């Protein structure tokens, strides 16, 4: 993990501080869960020891326990001070009945086992441990309580982690949204908003999963492994009284498997990537062989094509076979190592049992303990991959959030009044951020207030760039934009955008009610004003026919609307705001005669007195414009009326013919009547 990844993920961890109680509940609870596993293992080991020994004393110890001055009797008298309880215990000993932990406690005392203090304390404090059946019932109840506590604590940990990480991810998504709003350059890039969506979804989700894993498992699994590593030699030492050879053998083989398996995994992943690349290349060639069927038939290449296909199939088969064989070798090598380790461990365990150094219950407990180490180790290995993805996403996410905004507002910015005279572009240049491509290249023009201007170009991105500059989504790299002789940078962003309405085809409607789509959720616009704007846009009639009228949900998840109806909603949104400048991109679909008539009526009622920039898709709009600005490769190639450009610019004539089909042909030089 490099420093950048560490710093970025550390920044993401700070977002957990907004739910500090939930964060610490998850962290502390996850560590306690590791300790509960050891408690359950201890209870299980004790239960197995009672079952195997049946709570019986050796015959010599049983006889000695009944003698007044024996060491066994003195030990018993010290621990069981209650006379009635001691007499009952001695009676069970005389009758050769099981005495529960008394038998295990004396055995631990005699062998000076590490478990001696715990067993003697249990015998002294809890009389129910003196009887086999009560002891077994008590152990089962304690195990059940520990299991219930573990389940309840695990739910608490995961709930707390979910609360903390969801709060963090919500704040990260809010930050991405606000940053996207600041970065006007995203609208200029081909994949700009795609990048923002990726940050909002995939990368925030990866960071959220990493934070959740950090809270629930980052400390639990290492603590659990450490406790098991401490518990295993204690179990073996307590059983044998000697050096924990079995635990040492397990640790050695586990380390061997870890190292060898890790190297094998690295080798296999590298080879797998190479083999997959080879397979993908061969599959691409096979697809090409299918796609060149016209060439094969047309040039009588059947023999050559078939031979080529056979070679490609053989190569593809070989690459797949290498990958499959490599995977088998990798998995079987690990299996062989595990089997060798298991054989050695079984031999050491059997030797201990045959030498009477350890009992069956101790060996079983030790086996469960050692086997239990597999789970934290495997989880830690999986977590490494998940943490790596989370760290990589954190790097990208914070790199995105740390980008400075391109559009700033001066402290002394003034309020922009509606335009009364003219709009001027002076030597305006705008480049695609991070690229050398110019969307606008030293563009200069002047538009008088109230004019209708058609924006036409060979690259539609240049036309959108001009619209975005008007609304100050981005500022030009060079040059100046003036409204009534004043640089628009001197005005507040809010007042500039209040005077400019964009009706662009992308994002005409969103998932919400019709009323909110038109009013944009602004409570200042009451329903009567919304209805009046919809009437001017000729949207009121079809809105009334919707299931809930203005309360009908529309958008991708709501009631479907035709492209023209969506455009009418967009026009109503602009009409409601009464802007001084309007940018209208017409629908790129064929409109019926009735729709054209309604659209012309809307223009006639809404546009007078306003400066309008059209991105036309109708020939009638082009002809009705006072001025046409024609862009080519970012430059203002020509400007004038439609008829003037038809006569003076060959490229404009070709574009009109391609864009507007035969309607333009009627006015080509030599064909037009006037």
Per-residue pLDDT reduced to its tens digit, 43-91: 887 887 777 777 777 777 778 877 877 888 888 778 887 788 878 878 8
pLDDT-derived band at 376, boundaries 50, 70, 90: confident
The angle that helices 220-240 and 245-291 make with each other, rounded to 10 degrees, is: 140
Report whether 45 contacts 118 (CB < 8 A).
no
Residue 669 has pLDDT above 50, yes or no: no
- Side-chain half-sphere of 374: how many Cα atoms within 13 Å? 8
What is the pLDDT at residue 241? 59
Given a cut of 80, whether residue 540 has pLDDT beyond it is: yes
Residue 373's pLDDT band (boundaries 50, 70, 90)?
confident
Tokens of 41: 């293992």
**Average pLDDT over every residue of 301-307:** 81
Mean per-residue pLDDT, 432-446: 87
Q: Which two tokens stand for residue 156?
A: 């608490």
Rounded CA gap, 579 and 95, in Å?
Answer: 103
- Element spanning 533, H or E: helix 527-536
Q: Which helix (H) or strand (E) holds 396?
A: helix 374-401
According to the per-residue pLDDT averaged within each range, which of 71-80, 100-109, 330-339, 388-397 is highest? 388-397
Taking residues 541-550, what's their average pLDDT? 93
Say yes or no to pLDDT of 279 above 60. yes
Rounded to an integer, the average pLDDT of 350-370 is 64
Into which CATH architecture does domain 421-497+611-674 fall? 3-Layer(aba) Sandwich (3.40)
pTM of the predicted model as reported, rounded to 2 decimal places: 0.72
Are 428 and 479 a contacting pair, CB within 8 Å?
A: yes
Q: How far apart are CA 362 and CA 63, in angstroms?
A: 26
Asked if pLDDT for residue 366 goes beyond 80, the answer is no
- For residues 366 and 8, the model is more confident at 8
- Note whether 311 and 329 are within 8 A (CB): no
Q: Find out whether 648 and 638 touch, Cβ atoms under 8 Å.
A: yes
Residues 6+ apart with CB under 8 A from 34: 220, 221, 223, 224, 227
User: Shortest CA distance to 629 belongs to which of 644, 617, 647?
Assistant: 644
Tokens of 193: 């908003």
Characterise 70 by phi-psi region: left (phi > 0), alpha (psi -120 to 50), beta (else). beta
649: which residues sit within 8 A by CB, 6+ positions away? 630, 637, 638
Residue range 588-616: mean pLDDT, rounded: 92
What's the farthest any 2 CA atoms get from each other in the chain? 136
> Would you state the pLDDT for residue 22?
94
* pLDDT averaged over every residue in the chain: 83
Confidence bin at 480 (pLDDT 50/70/90): very high
pLDDT for residue 426:
93
Name the band, by pLDDT with cuts 50, 70 and 90, for residue 148: very high
pLDDT > 80? residue 409: no
Structure tokens at 49: 């020891």
CB-count burial class (<10 Å; 0-12, 13-18, 19+) for 630: buried
Residues 233-250 have pLDDT tens digits of: 777 666 665 666 667 767
Residue 316: both structure tokens together:
């593809």
Burial of 327-354, coded b for 16+ CB within 10 Å and e otherwise, reads: eeebeeeeeebeeebeeebeebbeebee
Q: Which pLDDT belongs to residue 99?
A: 81
pLDDT at 127: 84
For residues 24 and 290, the model is more confident at: 24
Q: Parallel, antiparallel, or unpaired: how do β-strands 452-457 and 627-632 relate?
A: parallel
Q: Cβ(320)–Cβ(279) under 8 Å?
A: yes
- Between 365 and 400, name the one with better pLDDT: 400
3-class SS at 625? coil
- Spans of all domains in the chain: 1-38+150-242+359-401, 243-356, 421-497+611-674
Percent of the chain with pLDDT over 90: 34
CA dihedral 93, 97, 99, 105 (to 10 degrees): 70
Per-residue pLDDT, 664 = 40
pLDDT at 101 over 60: yes
pLDDT band at 666 (very low <50, low <70, confident <90, very high): very low
The number of beta carbons lying within 10 Å of the beta carbon of residue 424 is: 18
Distances from the Cα of 41 to the Cα of 21, 61, 144, 232, 527, angstroms: 30, 29, 12, 10, 68
Confidence check: pLDDT of 93 > 90? no
């Amino acid at each position: 993990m490099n420093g950048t990844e560490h710093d970025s993920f550390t920044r993401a961890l700070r977002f957990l501080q907004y739910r500090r109680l939930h964060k610490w509940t998850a962290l502390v609870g996850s560590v306690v869960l590791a300790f509960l596993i050891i408690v359950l293992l201890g209870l299980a080991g004790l239960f197995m020891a009672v079952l195997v020994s049946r709570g019986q004393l050796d015959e010599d110890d049983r006889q000695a326990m009944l003698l007044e001055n024996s060491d066994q009797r003195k030990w018993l008298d010290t621990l069981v001070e209650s006379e009635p309880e001691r007499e009952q215990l001695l009676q069970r000993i005389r009758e050769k009945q099981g005495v529960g932990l008394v038998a295990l406690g004396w055995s631990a005392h005699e062998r000076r086992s590490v478990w001696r203090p715990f067993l003697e304390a249990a015998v002294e404090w809890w009389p129910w441990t003196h009887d086999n059946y009560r002891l077994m019932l008590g152990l089962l109840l304690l195990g059940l309580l520990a299991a219930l506590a573990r389940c309840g604590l695990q739910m608490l940990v995961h709930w707390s982690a979910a609360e903390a990480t969801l709060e963090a991810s919500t704040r990260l998504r809010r930050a991405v949204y606000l940053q996207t709003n600041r970065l006007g350059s995203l609208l200029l890039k081909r994949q700009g908003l795609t990048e923002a969506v990726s940050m909002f979804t995939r990368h925030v989700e990866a960071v959220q999963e990493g934070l959740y894993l950090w809270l629930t498992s980052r400390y639990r699994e290492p603590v659990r492994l450490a406790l098991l590593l401490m518990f295993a030699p204690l179990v073996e030492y307590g059983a044998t009284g000697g050096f924990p050879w079995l635990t040492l053998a397990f640790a050695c083989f586990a380390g061997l498997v870890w190292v060898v398996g890790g190297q094998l995994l690295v080798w296999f992943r590298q080879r797998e990537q190479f083999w997959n690349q080879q397979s993908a290349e061969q599959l691409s060639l096979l697809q090409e062989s299918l796609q060149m069927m016209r060439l094969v038939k047309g040039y009588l290449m059947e023999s050559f094509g078939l031979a080529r296909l056979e070679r490609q199939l053989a190569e593809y088969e070989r690459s797949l076979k290498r990958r499959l064989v490599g995977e088998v070798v990798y998995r079987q090598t690990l299996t062989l190592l595990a089997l060798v380790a298991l054989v050695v461990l079984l031999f050491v365990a059997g030797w201990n049992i045959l030498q009477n150094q350890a009992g069956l219950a101790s060996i079983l407990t030790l086996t469960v303990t050692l086997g239990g180490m597999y789970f934290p180790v495997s989880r830690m290995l999986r977590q490494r991959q998940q943490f790596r993805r989370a760290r990589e996403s954190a790097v990208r996410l914070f790199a995105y959030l740390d980008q400075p905004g391109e559009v700033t507002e001066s402290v002394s910015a003034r309020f922009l009044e509606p335009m009364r005279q003219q709009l001027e572009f002076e030597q305006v240049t705008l480049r695609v951020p991070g690229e050398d491509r110019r969307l606008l290249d030293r563009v200069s023009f002047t538009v008088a207030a109230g004019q209708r201007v058609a924006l036409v170009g060979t690259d539609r991105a240049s036309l959108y760039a001009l619209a975005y500059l008007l609304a100050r989504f981005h500022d030009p790299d060079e040059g100046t934009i003036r409204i009534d002789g004043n640089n628009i940078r001197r005005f507040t962003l809010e007042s500039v955008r209040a005077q400019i309405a964009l009706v662009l085809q992308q994002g005409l409607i969103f998932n919400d009610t019709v009323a909110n789509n038109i009013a944009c959720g602004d409570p200042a616009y009451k329903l009567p004003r919304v209805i009046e704007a919809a009437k001017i846009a000729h949207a009121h009639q079809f809105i009334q026919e919707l299931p809930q009228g203005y309360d009908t949900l529309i958008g991708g998840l709501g009631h479907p609307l035709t492209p023209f109806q969506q455009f009418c909603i967009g026009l109503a949104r602009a009409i409601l705001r009464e802007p001084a400048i309007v940018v209208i991109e017409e629908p790129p679909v064929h409109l019926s005669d009735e729709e054209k008539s309604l659209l012309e009526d809307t223009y006639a009622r809404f546009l007078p007195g306003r400066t309008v920039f059209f991105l036309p898709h109708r020939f009638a709009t082009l002809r009705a414009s006072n001025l046409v600005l024609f862009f080519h490769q970012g430059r203002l190639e020509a400007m004038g009326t439609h008829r003037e450009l038809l006569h003076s610019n060959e490229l404009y004539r070709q574009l009109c013919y391609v864009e507007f089909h035969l309607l333009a042909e009627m006015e080509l030089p030599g064909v037009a009547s006037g």
